[in-house]
Amino acid sequence: METSLPTPWQQALDKLRDWARINSPWAIHYNSGSCNGCDIEILATLTPRYDIERFGIKLQGSPRHADVLICTGPVTRQSRDRLLRIYEQMPDPKFVVAVGSCGISGGAFRGCYNIVGDISAVIPVNVYIPGCPPRPEAIIYGVVQLLETLKKPVA
């Protein structure tokens, strides 16, 4: 590891990279065991009415193309491996957004025999969006919060 200060050239490049990252978050959506309520709200978020292409957000089919994993629901024992695999398949840098109270704590399913736990029990989560289910506005707000954190330099 080099410890020298970044050159102006490097700083400019870093700025450019951060700008691009903030303005083009491509998302992938995974349901790790939710009741589908949250997923329907996410799909509503993608409709022309809310038009998240304004922010450059695009739903991608392939984890390899995605930057943001939008994850709903508690993690069931069956979907744990799939969730992990999807997370591993995403190229760095990657971020996780947990949608719904189930993703935060297990919600209505907390303590069920078939539940591993909330999403942070399996993969690191960057942003939580509460609600059962959260409204599309809340989901957009959460993703924007995630993008705001990218603007600040990580110490």
Partner 1 sequence: MNNLTVPPLIAFLFFPGGLFLMFGGMAYEWIDRKLVARFQNRIGPRWFQPLADVVKLLSKEEIIPQGVDRILFYLLPVLALSAALASALYVPIAGFAPAYSFKGDLVVTLYMLSVLTLCLGLAGANTPNRFALIGATRTLTQLFSYEAPFLLALLGPAIVAGTWTIGEINFYTQLHPWQMILTQPLGFVVALVGLMGKLELPPFDAPEAETEIVAGALTEYSGRGLALFRIGKNVELLIGLTLVSAFYLGGVGNPLLFVVKTVGLLFVMAVLQSLFARLRIDQTVGLWWRIGALLALLNLLVVALFRALA
| Residue ranges binding ligand SF4 (CB under 6 A) | 34-35, 37-38, 72-73, 100-102, 107-108, 132-133
Q: What count of Cα atoms within 13 Å lies in the side-chain half-sphere of residue 106?
A: 14
Instruction: Decide which of ligand SF4, partner 1, none touches 67; Cβ closer than 5 to 8 Å per partner kind.
Output: partner 1
Closest contact distance (angstroms) between CB of 71 and ligand SF4 is 11
Instruction: Decide which of ligand SF4, partner 1, none touches 110; Cβ closer than 5 to 8 Å per partner kind.
Output: none
The β-bridge partners of 123 are none
Which two tokens mark 82? 């799939």
Instruction: Please spell the DSSP secondary structure of 17-83, one letter per residue.
Output: HHHHHHH--EEEEEESS--SHHHHHHHHHTSTTT-GGGGT-EE-SSGGG-SEEEEESPEEHHHHHHH
Closest contact distance (angstroms) between CB of 77 and partner 1 is 25
- Name the site residues for partner 1 (rule: CB under 8 A): 16-17, 19-21, 23-24, 26, 48, 51, 53-54, 56, 60-62, 64-65, 67, 89, 91-93
Closest contact distance (angstroms) between CB of 46 and partner 1 is 11
Closest contact distance (angstroms) between CB of 131 and ligand SF4 is 7
First to last CA, the chain: 17
